[in-house]
Amino acid sequence: MVVLHKLLALDLDGTMLNPDKIITPETRSSIQQLMAEEVAVTIASGRFPASVWLHAREIPLNFTLVALNGAVTVDAKTGQMIEGFPLDTASLLYMLDVIEEEGAYVHFYGYNVLYVQQINDTNRNWSLNNVVVRPELPLTEEHYKEQTELIQLVEVGSDFRSFVTNTPSLIYKAAVICTDLAARERIYDKLESSAMFQCTKTGRLRFDVNAAGISKRDALERVCRYSGIKREEVAVAGDYDNDLDMLQWAGLGIAMGNAEPHIQAIADVITGSNEQDGVAMAIRNYLL
């Protein structure tokens, strides 16, 4: 039996974007060609809603978007939140206890707001790192001001505990960054074993934390249910740990050629790397 796919969900970094964080003309063209065949295309990313929406607008995409690892779904036309699932106050306070005990760094993601204890070299350019990169423009605040203004950087002071207590339901994701790999693993294990969080590694020195049960897969399941799309009719492409569950869930899980071996191992197929326009290759080989 031939399965006709109705939706393709794409991770951004390491997947839809090349190593220079650019949507290449070949990737853009292949996505547009797929949409012309009446297949919906969306982005499922750990990035801010504004960043996901800005990249979707470049194509432009035509289906509900997934941001902050599934904590938020976004209207592809307006960039406004459809649904949001924040971390609760008690969980955040426990998280802070564990992180402070190990002396690690953490910042919190609101809806297009990055909350930090103090502005420093780690977080100063976070908004700039979320823009749609133009090959002809230097990556500076001056050239991307229109985009960076959509994401606020808010310094809340040294008492994160008071901040999360007094501003409930504002935080959708946390990013824990720790150069001590042993300490990072201890934090990860404690948070994961508490059953209060969904933890996903997003780099060698960092991992993301969402509320328990919140993931890209969870968000895609919801939006597909609302749209009458079956799991078998969904294809997804990704390259890292926060893509793992959606790759396992989808009817067609496509691992990028640059994905880690354990990601490739659970995928149905492996395409080229993001340096080789692997998304375009996958669309040609498996979806058109």
Whichever domain contains 257, its CATH number is: 3.40.50.1000
Q: Does 2 reside within a domain?
A: no
The one-letter amino acid code at 158 reads S
75 to each of 182, 199, 230, how far by Cα in Å? 40, 25, 21
pLDDT number for residue 3: 58
Rounded distance between C-alpha atoms, residue 113 and residue 234, angstroms? 31
Q: Are residues 102 and 170 located together in one domain of the fold? A: yes
The number of folded domains in the chain is: 2
Q: Is the pLDDT at 1 greater than 70, yes or no?
A: no
Closest CA to 267 of 56, 11, 69, 31: 11
Structural domain ending residue among the three candidates 190, 211, 232? 211
Q: Are residues 50 and 113 located together in one domain of the fold? A: no
Rounded distance between C-alpha atoms, residue 221 and residue 234, angstroms? 10
Convert the pLDDT of each residue in 138-166 to its tens digit.
999 999 999 999 999 999 998 999 999 99
Q: Does 279 reside within a domain?
A: yes
Rounded distance between C-alpha atoms, residue 7 and residue 14, angstroms? 20
pLDDT interval class at 202 (50, 70, 90):
confident
Q: Going edge to edge, which strands form the sheet with 72-74?
A: 65-67, 72-74, 81-84
For residue 202, the surrounding DSSP H or E stretch is none
Q: Does 1 reside within a domain?
A: no
Rounded distance between C-alpha atoms, residue 109 and residue 208, angstroms? 10
pLDDT number for residue 205: 87
Convert the pLDDT of each residue in 164-193 to its tens digit.
999 889 999 999 999 999 999 999 999 999
Question: Rounded to two decimals, what is the model's pTM?
Answer: 0.96
Q: Does 266 reside within a domain?
A: yes
Cβ neighbors of 160 (< 8 A, separation 6 or more) are 96, 106, 108, 117
Q: Are residues 250 and 168 located together in one domain of the fold? A: no
